[in-house]
Structure formats: structure tokens, C-alpha cells
Amino acid sequence: MPAITSVSSRSAQPGSEPRPATATIVLACLGVFVSYLPVVGVSVALPVIQQALDASTVGLQWITDAFILPTAALLLTCGMIGELYGRKKTWLAGLVMFCLGCLVCLTAGSVVQVCVGQALTGIGTAALLPSTLALISHVCPDHHKRARVIALWTASLGLGLTLGPLFNGVIVEHASWRWIFLPALVVGVVTAVIGAVVLTESRSQRERHLDIPGQILAVIAITGLVYGVIEGGSAGWGSAEVVIAFVAAAVGLLAFIVVELRSPCPMLDMRLFGASAFSGAALVMALTLFAQVGLVFALSEYFGLVHHASTWDIGVRLVAINGFTVVLGPLVGRLMNRTSPGLLLVTGLVVGGIGALCVNLFHASTGTGEAALVVGVLGIGIALAMAPITTIAMNSVPRRLADTAGAANSALRQIGSALGPAVFGVILTHRTLDTLPGHLARSGLSAADQGEVSGLVSHVGIQAGAFLQLKTPEATSRALSAYGASFTDALHTCALVGGVGMLVAAVIAFFTIGVRTRAVQETGETPVAVTHPAGAAGTTAAGDVS
């Protein structure tokens, strides 16, 4: 396979220097901040969107996954485009597409139009994520500095996830829900204008071409998997369309692996998985984001439907999940250079898993203080884990593979993020419907009222249970209490799945990455493996650099 040489339009000439790295780092962080600003913000606004557009649970899941699916499916291709045509061009194209999607959502009058806008922003994010990481890798060849900068990159991502719900809460309180897309649009336009002037072009130069077969197979595999999970919850797991979707996903994945192994210019370079640290980090990333985004989806629905909290209140209650990533980001960056990133990662996953399991303590009338404490534990765990995952993945491969590694890392992030709402949405629906009859029977409601409530929730959707209106106030109160108890049971199941998922990720990280202090040769080269797996000995091998 041809060697990859990283060059820039300025640094390619002897004696020339690229623009100051600080400007590139700031713009890379702004890019990822913009791309994640509406993610959780849209999630916490789902109850309002549901009422405004009369959306079903499946419709709400698609609003979330319409953003995540194209992001996950196109990340690897966008990483390759950045290598071929330039990271700055890819970064700018991503911002333009992202802003276009925000414009579509600003004028949305239906669930379909919101999904179209979300899909466009997802395509833009697919271009932004690998290009921002590749820009950072290009200007930060030293792995110690890169670890600190990636911590800032992760904090910027967390800042977008944190501020989005708060901005949206204020907007929904005073204006139409459509305006929640305005802050991201404004910041995106300003960032693009600055970047067009300040950023210097850079790319990886080698003889290669776009991997069209790999891209098609990746789209088939990812879309088939997520579509099957979402539609399986409503159409039935044995329905023809769901079975076809899962078969297409399995066949597409196997074909993708075969094609990438045989391709002279693969979209996903399988050499990346030769480092156990990268393979472990990739799997851990997918599991962690699956649990995190899935729990945000479930908790948003719980606070909105059971507690009848406003969008602002939901954002405040969930701010710690991503807020600690911002607050602790600089500290985590320093700790990664003083101790083992693997140790921080495993510690964070264990703490996060415990926090997720503590959601099982919630009941229908859980107070804000108790909820904030549990969410805070979950947020601290995520803050300790997120930067080390990305740093380990980027430092575990040669710098010449930074574009591909960044795209693969982000792709696994988005696949996990896509499966979270899909799986947790199915759990919420089925578990609520399964437990509701029992809670209604114990509520003291008449058989007629029980049948009315069960029928309404079954046919209209579980969101309808939050707005029940029976013949008397007493009957309505009892029905709402039964609905709240059944929805909380469903939340407990989501918490169990999310908590176990993070603890399993901790075990995987321990055995594939390890917790010992890394031993890096001080040669200025990027290591092939950042840490040793548990029980391993020896030194890390240094890879080629560009």
C-alpha cells in the first residue's frame, strides 16, 4: 500500500512555516462545538416538538437519528475527502452544509422536514468531525501537546452539548421551537467566515481514490442496523421489512470488511486495528456513546412526560452529563500526561456505569436535587472517559494515518450515538406498555377507565399518557400516577442497559488498553500503542510519521 505523506500547501516548501497552530486549534474546537450544539438541545425539546407536530415515538426517534445516521455513514468518506482535497475545504464544506440544515429546520412544518434538516446537519457534521481532528493532528505532532489539545477538543464538544439545551430552554419559553436552530446557524456562519480567512490548507498526499464500494456498503450496513432497531419496535421484530433490514446490515458489514481488506485504497484502513489500543478504544467509544446518548434520550422523555418539566428545566437537569466534560477538560488533559490515559478511561467508565445504574433509584416523583446528584455522577464518569478515549485512538496509530483514525473514531462515536436513541426508544415503548396494565389495575380505576387509558397509549403512542384527561380529576390523577410509574419502570430498564454497557466497556478497556503508565520513546514519533494491555510488559513501538 502506498505510503502516506502529510503535507500542507505552505509547509511543503523548504523553510516555510504553517500559520500559527493556535488559530487552527481554536477553529477546530469551534467546528466541533458548532456541530454538537443542537444535538442534545433537540433531544430535550422533543416533548415540545411532539406536541407541536403530533409526532409518535418512532417519529421522535427518527428526528434524533436523522442527524446521527448520515453522520455515521459518511464520516469515513469525509475523512478520505479531507486527505485528498484538503482538510480546510472539507471543514468549510461541512459548516456550509450544517448551516443549510439549520435553515431547513427553521422553516419546518412537519416531522419529515425536521428530519430532512437534521440529515443535512448530519452530513455537515460528518465532514467537520474528522477534519477537526486531522487539523489538530497536523499542527500538533508531539503526542503530549496533542493529548492536551484533544482534551480541549472534547471539552468543546461537551460545551456544545451543554449549552444547546440551555439555549433551547430559553428559546422555547419565549418563542417557537423552530428557533432552537438559530444559535447553531449564527455561530456556524461566523466560524466559517473566520476559518475561510485564517485557516491554512493541509492534506495527506498519496495516490488513492474515493472508495465508492466501501462507502455504499457502509451506508447499507449502518442504515440497515438502525432502521431495523427503530422499526422493529413498532412494526414487530418478525416483520418482513425489519428482517430484511437486519439481513442487509449483516451482509453489508461482511462485504464491507472483505472489500476494505482487498482494496488498494480502502476507506477504512484495517491496519488501524492492528493496534489493540485502537481496537479497544473504538469499541469502548461505541459502547460509551450508546449509553450516554441513549440515557439522555430516555431521561429527556422521563423529565418531560412524567415530571412535565419545561425544555429549560430538562436542560438544567441534564447539564451535568456534558457540563463536567467542559469543567474537568483541562484537568483531564494534564492528568493524561502525568498518568496513564487507560487508567483515567477505566476509572471514568466505572464511575459512569455506577451513575447510570443509580438512575434505578428514580421514581415518578423524584426531586430535582436527587436527580441532579445521580446525573452528576454519570457526568463525572463521562468527563473522565471521553478525552482519554479519543487521545488513545489518535495516539495509537502513526501520525500519517491521522485522517483515517480520526474518521474511524468519530464513525464509531456516531454509530453508538445512533443506536442509543433507537434501542432506548424501543425499550421505553415496550416496557411502558408491558407494565402499564398492572399499574392501572392497582390504581383503583374502573375497568372502563383502565381500558380507555391502555387503548389510548397503545394506539396513539406512549407520549399520549402524559396528557390524559378522564371524566373526573380524581380518575385523571390516578391514571397519570399509573402512567408515571410504568414509564419509570421503563427508565429503570434503560438505566440497567446503559450502566451495564459502560461497565462492560470498562472491562474491554482494561484488557485491550490497560491501566499502566505508558512507556513512550522520546523520539518525537507517534506511538503505535499508547498503553500496554493489562499484564503486558515491554515498551511501545514507535510508528512512522509523516
Q: Which residue has the higher pLDDT, 475 or 527?
A: 475
Whether the per-residue pLDDT at 542 is higher than 50: the answer is no
Cα–Cα distance, 194 to 199 (Å, whole number): 8
pLDDT of residue 378: 93
- Most confident region among 307-321, 500-514, 516-530 by mean pLDDT: 500-514
> In the predicted model, what is the mean pLDDT of residues 431-452?
91
pLDDT band at 15 (very low <50, low <70, confident <90, very high): very low
Element (H, E) at 343: helix 341-358
pLDDT band at 406 (very low <50, low <70, confident <90, very high): low
Whether the per-residue pLDDT at 6 is higher than 80: the answer is no
pLDDT of residue 2: 39
Using alpha carbons, list the distances in angstroms from residue 42 to 47, 161, 230, 483. Answer: 10, 10, 18, 24
For 524, the grid coordinates are 518525537
Using alpha carbons, list the distances in angstroms from residue 133 to 156, 303, 386, 393, 401. Answer: 12, 35, 14, 11, 12
Q: Which of 362, 272, 368 is nearest to 318 (CA)?
A: 368
Cα–Cα distance, 264 to 274 (Å, whole number): 17
pLDDT of residue 157: 76
For 35, the grid coordinates are 456541530
pLDDT band at 12 (very low <50, low <70, confident <90, very high): very low
Lowest-confidence segment of 203-207, 465-469, 510-514 by average pLDDT: 203-207
Each residue's pLDDT tens digit, 327-344: 887 788 788 778 888 899
pLDDT of residue 401: 66
Q: Which residue has the higher pLDDT, 279 or 526?
A: 279
Burial of 483 (0-12, 13-18, 19+ CB in 10 A): buried
Q: Which residue has the higher pLDDT, 216 or 415?
A: 216
pLDDT band at 315 (very low <50, low <70, confident <90, very high): confident
What average pLDDT is seen over the chain? 80
> In the predicted model, what is the mean pLDDT of residues 415-435?
84
pLDDT of residue 525: 41
Tell me the Ramachandran region of residue 54: left when phi exceeds 0, alpha when psi lies from -120 to 50, beta otherwise: left
The packing angle between helices 276-305 and 311-338, to 10°, is: 160
Residue with grid cell 431495523, as numbered in its chain: 228
Burial of 309 (0-12, 13-18, 19+ CB in 10 A): buried
pLDDT of residue 403: 61
pLDDT of residue 520: 39
Q: Which of 366, 368, 375, 364 is nearest to 306 (CA)?
A: 364
Tell me what percent of the chain is helix, strand and coil, each rounded to the nearest 5: 80, 0, 20
> Within 13 Å and on the Cβ side, how many CA atoms surround 232?
19
Whether the per-residue pLDDT at 3 is higher than 70: the answer is no
Tell me the Ramachandran region of residue 461: left when phi exceeds 0, alpha when psi lies from -120 to 50, beta otherwise: left
Whether the per-residue pLDDT at 523 is higher than 50: the answer is no
Nearest 5°: phi and psi at 542?
A: -90, 135
For 202, the grid coordinates are 493541509
Q: Which of 205, 190, 216 is nearest to 34 (CA)?
A: 190
> In the predicted model, what is the mean pLDDT of residues 4-23?
47
Nearest 5°: phi and psi at 206?
A: -160, 165
Using alpha carbons, list the distances in angstroms from residue 398 to 105, 393, 491, 525, 546. Answer: 40, 11, 42, 8, 8
Which one-letter amino acid corresponds to residue 323?
Answer: G
Nearest 5°: phi and psi at 238?
A: -95, 0
Q: What residues contact 157, with CB distance under 8 A and at least 6 apart?
A: 32, 33, 36, 325, 386
pLDDT of residue 165: 77
Burial of 525 (0-12, 13-18, 19+ CB in 10 A): middle
Residue with grid cell 446537519, as numbered in its chain: 121
Q: What is the pTM of this model?
A: 0.73
> In the predicted model, what is the mean pLDDT of residues 49-77?
78
Each residue's pLDDT tens digit, 139-189: 877 767 777 787 788 778 778 877 887 888 888 888 888 898 998 899 999
Each residue's pLDDT tens digit, 31-61: 888 887 877 668 777 778 877 887 776 777 7
* Contact by Cβ (8 Å): 533, 392: no
pLDDT band at 543 (very low <50, low <70, confident <90, very high): very low
Cα–Cα distance, 150 to 154 (Å, whole number): 6
Using alpha carbons, list the distances in angstroms from residue 422 to 62, 131, 489. Answer: 8, 27, 18
Which one-letter amino acid corresponds to residue 391?
Answer: T
Tell me the Ramachandran region of residue 86: left when phi exceeds 0, alpha when psi lies from -120 to 50, beta otherwise: left
